[in-house]
Amino acid sequence: MIKGALTRRRMLGTLAALAVLPLTRPAHATEPLGFGELYKSFGVLGLEFSDKVKRLNGREVRVKGFMAPPLKAEADFFVLTEIPMSLCPFCSSDADWPDNILVVYLGRKQTFVQYNAPISAQGVLEYGSWVGPVTGFVSQLRLRSASFETV
């Protein structure tokens, strides 16, 4: 049964990727940004954003990752993580977010997807501390006017 579900998901993923290909925007408009490229340095006294993040601030980027289990199904933001989240900081009081997360504010509401399937999020990159007015969620790095698709 597990095997069947996986095969089906793989197939759906392949179909989605095929469907999306013709719609991909020209390369110069959107730069890919990897989780490994977010920080120049990690340190106890703080992390430092990479030159690439600083350069792309305010520009449209595309980041691949995983959707962390969202606060609620209807929220218009979610947290993008490098690897699938094994814990749900929104649900469990002793779980905590990893250091390297990206908060994605959607341009329009989208139906949330399977959390352990990779997605590609696209939006305007912004860094610097910002407190979500509705949720109080503090983010250091965000995508605004974003959308996402399964990959």
Q: How many helices (H) and strands (E) does the chain have?
A: 2, 8
Burial class (CB in 10 A: 0-12, 13-18, 19+), 18: exposed
Q: Which helix (H) or strand (E) holds 148?
A: strand 138-150
Applying CB under 8 A, among 20, 25, 128, 145 the residue interacting with another protein is 128
Q: For residue 4, state whether it binds another protein (rule: CB under 8 A).
A: no
Q: Other CB atoms closer than 10 Å to residue 148's CB: what's the count?
A: 23
* Residue nearer to another protein on the CB measure, 54 or 59: 54
In the list 44, 74, 108, 134, the residue contacting another protein (rule: CB under 8 A) is 44
Residues 101-120 contacting another protein, CB under 8 A: 112-116
Summarize as ranges the residues that interact with another protein (CB under 8 A): 2, 6, 39, 42-49, 69, 83-88, 91-99, 112-116, 127-129, 131, 136, 138, 140-141
